Amino acid sequence: MTSGQHLLPVERAGHRQLHCVSSQTVASLIRGQFGPAVEDFLIVDCRYPYEYQGGHIKGAVNLYTESQIQQAVYQDHPSDSRPEDEGSSPRKLIVFHCEFSSERGPHLCQYLRRLDRCVNAQVYPNLHYPELYLLLGGYKHFHASYPDLCDPCGYVPMRQREYREQLHGFRRTRPTRQRRRRPIRIHQRTTR
């Protein structure tokens, strides 16, 4: 399937490289309001397990590491399968989110995009997963708007006190991302 026009309505947001969708759009997707155009969809909850267990979007799967993403999405696609073998419709969609969709969700969404492009380098722009989305406002906003679509109907913040040890454990085991730092440029005034 080639990347092209997206099925879901995309919102403008701070994540310029990602296609963001509203809580209302995800609720419509869950309720089947996109009809037969959507063959299948997956909601990926990128929060830590204690957050997920405290409440999540119905049907969401909890994948919070790059290796989990790789294992889960490519188990259906053997390394020798090509995206053009799948046909062009109906579509398979993946929606990522974390608590606010500001760090973990966007990171894993971008990771899957890079992985898919790498796996399909010979046939790019054909991709296995051309329609990746990020839920605007994350689970916090979705839960506030659609508690009936959450199971269980709860919300555990990442920084909730009683889970502090678990949070530190997840952060210790997470590989650190090396960020390139731009050199600081000092502008000197010249006097004449």
The CATH number covering residue 111 comes to: 3.40.250.10
Domain membership of residue 5 (yes or no) is: no
Is residue 46 flagged as an active site residue? no
Tell me the pLDDT tens digit for each residue of 128-177: 889 999 999 999 999 999 999 999 999 999 999 998 999 888 888 765 44
Q: Domain range spanning residue 37?
A: 19-168
Domain count, the chain: 1
What the block records as the tokens of 80 is: 């020798």
Question: Which of the four pLDDT bands, split at 50, 70 and 90, describes residue 1?
Answer: very low
Domain membership of residue 111 (yes or no) is: yes
Domain membership of residue 54 (yes or no) is: yes
| Residue of 98, 118, 150, 153 marked active site | 98
Evaluate if residue 2 carries a pLDDT over 70. no
What the block records as the tokens of 145 is: 């708007």
Domain membership of residue 1 (yes or no) is: no
Whether the predicted model's global pTM rises above the 0.85 cut: no
